[in-house]
Structure 1
């Protein structure tokens, strides 16, 4: 039996949200979609939350964190609950690099211990990318629960519990990265940690880019309930240090030609997120310059679904940050090109253009 995993249609909803939120865009017809736009949003959001909770509370796929009994009781009290929504939750503070979401026993309702994934198929390496994606999504749901509380009282209490717990895990993941993955000499983060030691000392671009994005989100997040382990000011200091390491004369952000189109797209989004943490025009100006230097890499994303979808969202992020219409027009061009990868018979986007299309399902 397999747990639900996110599919690429969720990423397309993200792209559509970005397009529709750009007021200068012409109206887009969604009549050909099988479900309404609102339904697509709700379905994708629920699936995304289910996936995140499956990873962080149920899967057992990561470095565990045992919440002390007094803290667990305080969490319930703050949320207005008498008992936790999940029994035997396995709290993951640092997810492993990969695993197979297959149950190894008959699942029982609300018993997280029966929802563990197959341990034999887990890569027990902790990578910055896996950690960063978890933190980004955890903080996104903390913000969403604060912004859009459920109308139902009981569901709102559960959301409060989930949000506080996810916020705690995001902060613990941050401390894990700072303690176990960061190289104090370079300010960059090693690629692999396992069993208490660094097992891969490489500094990969996507590791640094996703962590820059995660620290930026943390710096702009309102502090979740419970113990505040990392203050917004500490997060701003962390993200500034990482940006400095990445943007120096030999930093990888100074070498955009070495990045793949998808890495460049993620890099642009991370830089836009970082710019949101800054208030001084003097600090924002060099960030915008780096973004402009990376944008040409996005033009070569044609024919690759993942890279092209990332290019659309990155370009629209730039448009919302700077108001530059050229970014908006390029996003529209990429969006139109993306439609060529749609297979109406399969009702999926193919991964790449070609005679033998491949359909990929991904958690990212």
Structure 2
């Protein structure tokens, strides 16, 4: 009976190229994040170049580095502070919206819709009218206090741990309307402070100053780092409190850290720019389609793409109303309103 010898494994033919393995999901996410950073860099350049007077792209670098360049004054005194402020405020608002949606498990959570920005604005307006505060160093602490108070109040009125998305949205809408009515009433009664208060009804980047950028930078960085640290605990909290505890997460500590991060981010952004709506709602929903629910990727994407939206809206406002401009808060409201209506109708269709 013939004996069959086992065949030796043949080496791969070097002339035939091996089929490359498909990229893993983390690799795709990392590549997408790198593309988002490049997109942000392009929008930053566009924000410096576009305005009432257009600066050629070739003059941007000399305007940044050469004091003798004709564009130096415009770039350093106007465009660069405005762009940097939009970068910081966009990061703060987008990340605050993502943290709020994770913290409340509410897809409609947004610093504007839930009244956080309105709380910061109302506190600043009260400080201007009643205490005579006129500097950013005074504004920012009142903005933090107002943002924190409304964040806690919305959560309590909405039902605390048993809060549903609908109840939180209703509580936020009620507080939002009340606080903005207060702001309007104070503006009508205190005509001497009207010009200073008008800024707090619609968000704007037009009054950006280098000092403002440096003052809010520590608060935005602190909120950013805290949010990134909370990504893993909030991921665990999304599985339920019992599962979170089993995974080593303290739910109360995670919630307190989330409220602190939202307060830092919203308070700093509102103190510097006034209330800007819909950035914290739009960006997390768009990003979630790219990253899925994992907050370890969702938060960095939001921190990069939210300033793309805010700076893009600011550039659009400068272009469509030349030689004047539309405030960025108006542009984001026009862009975000239809999205909000679409999202709520889509949610009803899914529930039906």
TM exceeding 0.5: no
Which structure has the greater CA radius of gyration?
A: 2
Higher relative contact order (CA 8 A, sep 6+): 2
- Compute the TM-score of the two structures, normalised by the length of structure 1: 0.26
The structure with the greater share of residues assigned to strand is 1
The structure with the greater share of residues assigned to helix is 2
